[in-house]
Structure 1
Amino acid sequence: MSRGMARAQLLILEPPPKVGAKPGAVLERVRFQFNPNRLSLTKSTEWRRKPSRMAAESATPEFVGSGPRSLSLEVFLDATDTHDGSVERKVEQLMVACVPTEKSLRAKKPASPWVRFEWGSGRTTSFDGVLSSFSVEYTLFDTDGSPLRATCAVGIEEATADALGQNPTSGTPEASRTHVVVAGDTLAQLAWQEYGDPAAWRTIAEANDIDDPLELLPGSELLVPTTADPATRVPTEVAV
């Protein structure tokens, strides 16, 4: 039995009611008429250098943090077969993500919706975010001037809610950074890289509520405390 083709869609979600919370209910489910033929994903990191006038080479960079993912895609709309105004209706659905929701206005905390692009089993391009840019180019019109064909350019910037204590400036005693898991990563290996002690892997496990340290999903992000908690280290055996 052949599997049907997965159809891309954009979920428009009620924004979180407060900092650190997850987005709320689905406001719109915009199913794409045609799947995108190209997706552009970017992610940045921030580094800091302290230049010295006496140094012959540049200073060693200090890692500051991991920036958000950004996704760019185009949505193609066509109503040349139907002449039913569906192009503008789809555009209006997408533009809902550009204005504050009624619920946020009633709460006197205006906020535009969050969005999430979904397409089959894709993981790296599916994340909670906000619409950072949106534009429409109409390229064909009916005899009454209504658009029959359009291309929408959509930009999404990641806006994943941080768990309490993950922000180094939130007043917590210890700062943290994030690490994107790649194939072959282990907590012991990461603990060795961060702390010089593979036995400190429990510090990372507890910070991320990991029950099984052997099951790390490539592409997921781990919170890595900048210092290891001695209480979480596995004691090493000493020969006597």
Structure 2
Amino acid sequence: MIDKIKKLRITAYKDSTYASDKKIGKFPNGADNPFYVLINPTSFSINHKIEYNNQIPVGGTTGESQHSKSLPPSLQLEFLFDGTGVTELNSGNTLINKIKNKKPFAKTAVLDQIANFYIATGTYDGKIHKPYNVTVNWGEFEYQGVLSEFTIDYKLFNNDGTPLRAIGKATFVGAVSQELEAARLKKSSPDLTHKRTVQDGDTLPLMTERIYGDSKYYLEVAKINGLINFRQLKPGQELFFPPIEKIS
């Protein structure tokens, strides 16, 4: 059985706590939250930036660099917005589309996709007096922040000038509340006992790497949890990861 392709999704929240009760229900235009891309990106990049104060003594050409601040990591993504219909399921099979009562692919598809993306990420919401905070999820990858820049390159047009294809270049800046960051630091501490629920695709070495920063403890974790075959974890299964000093 071939696994279904997971689409990148963007979920909007009212603030940087990303709490479930702060999740946006529906967007002002009636679209559902989260927003799913039609075509997954071919790549993404994370940028880490550290600023230094460079003090050069009089008459010198170089000096000691003193740490000033570490900026939140930024995320760069490129999205392909397609309005030709070639990416739609059964796009070229008229009979199947008729049986499924599928509507023809709209000429405004590109504009609609871009509008929905920007509503989810960059449009000012008068109720909270700012754009939404978002989580970007794609498989195991998760990023939390706000949209800081969005550029659209239109590449293909219909006879009437309607865009048929466009590339959106988005930059997100990390934004997490101090309370959430403090909770994360405590939660990720290897000196505490952790209880985790196995998710689809999880492996014991991978889960051990996340908690302890090293996968080498997975055999000890297997023994503590009484796992006979640690290679066959079941989604929903609960595992305990003790403080690192107890398994070292």
Q: Which residue of 2 aligns with 1:7?
A: 7
**1:14–1:101 Cα contact (<8 Å) kept:** no
Distance 1:163 1:54, change over 3 A: farther
Which residue of 216, 221, 238 corresponds with 2:212? Answer: 216
Residues 218-237 of structure 1: pairs in structure 2 closer than 5 A:
none
The 3-state SS of whatever aligns with 2:154 is strand
Question: 2: CA distance between counterparts of 1:56 and 1:33?
Answer: 53
Whole-Å separation in 1 of the counterparts to 2:8 and 2:188 = 31
Contact 2:56–2:62 (8 Å) recurs in 1? no
Q: Measured at CA, do residues 55 and 135 of structure 1 come closer, stay the same or move farther in structure 2, by a change above 3 Å?
A: closer
Residue 162 of structure 1 corresponds to: 178
Assess if the C-alpha contact under 8 Å between 1:7 and 1:32 holds in 2. yes
1:113 counterpart residue number: 132
1:95 aligns with 2:114: no
Paired position in structure 1 for 2:70: 66
Distance 2:137 2:181 in 1: 29
TM-score, normalised to structure 1's length? 0.58
> Aligned pair in 2 of structure 1 residues 209, 33: CA closer, same or farther (>3 Å)?
closer
Aligned partners of 1:153 and 1:210: how far apart in 2? 32
CA distance in 2, matches of 1:72, 1:52: 38
Listed as ranges, the gaps of 5+ residues in structure 2 are: 28-32, 86-103, 193-210, 215-248
- Unpaired runs of 5+ in structure 1? 105-109, 167-204, 219-240
Aligned identity (percent) is 22
Query: Equivalents in 2 of 1:158, 1:80: separation in Å?
Result: 34
Residues 62, 208 of structure 1: alpha-carbon distance in 2 compared, 3 angstrom cutoff: farther
Q: CA RMSD in A?
A: 3.0
More helix by share: 2
TM-score normalised to structure 2 length? 0.57
The AA in structure 2 aligned to 1:33 is: L
Moved more, 146-155 or 5-14: 5-14
1:45 aligns with 50
| 1:45-83 deviation line (CA, Å, top 9, x unaligned) | 122344433778622x33333211111111101121354
Given the alignment of the two structures, is residue 25 of structure 1 paired with residue 44 of structure 2, yes or no? no
What is the CA distance between 1:211 and its match in structure 2? 6.1
One-letter identity of the residue aligned with 1:47: Y
Distance 2:10 2:139 in 1: 12
Query: Residue 141 and residue 160 in structure 1: after superposition, are their counterparts in 2 closer, same or farther (change >3 A)?
Result: same
